[in-house]
Amino acid sequence: SAVISQKPSRDICQRGTSLTIQCQVDSQVTMMFWYRQQPGQSLTLIATANQGSEATYESGFVIDKFPISRPNLTFSTLTVSNMSPEDSSIYLCSVRKRGGGNEQFFGPGTRLTVL
């Protein structure tokens, strides 16, 4: 498994501002992912965070709105830019470890509320 931490655990933000969420893993991992979980909903993949290169975004998600960084094999950030109330969600990072069974391990999530 992997121990994953996220900061902040929750935040309340004003419309039009931006928030950066950090994801830290206790060991080097091959792949890191960012998901969004809207209230009462399932998880939707936002993007795959690639180490040393631009993230790969899923349909419906764009870099200008959700810029992602991954400077090394244990850390990534997701920024939610120019927030609106529709961005109120739980944001989770996950990791896949080399040699694993393709399962992903998830961080505890960041609960974001936009007023």
Partner 1 sequence: AQTVTQSQPEMSVQEAETVTLSCTYDTSESDYYLFWYKQPPSRQMILVIRQEAYKQQNATENRFSVNFQKAAKSFSLKISDSQLGDAAMYFCVRHSGGSNYKLTFGKGTLLTVNP
d(CA 114, CA 35): 17
Parallel, antiparallel, or unpaired for β 89-96 and 75-80? unpaired
Residue from 57, 61, 75, 106 touching partner 1 (CB under 8 A): that is 106
Residue of 99, 94, 107, 114 whose CA lies nearest to 6: 107
- Residues 34-73 close enough to bind partner 1 by CB under 8 A: 41-45, 48
Q: Is 94 near partner 1 (CB under 8 A)? A: yes
Which residues sit at the interface with partner 1, rule CB under 8 A? Answer: 31, 33, 41-45, 48, 90, 92, 94, 96, 101-106, 108-109, 111
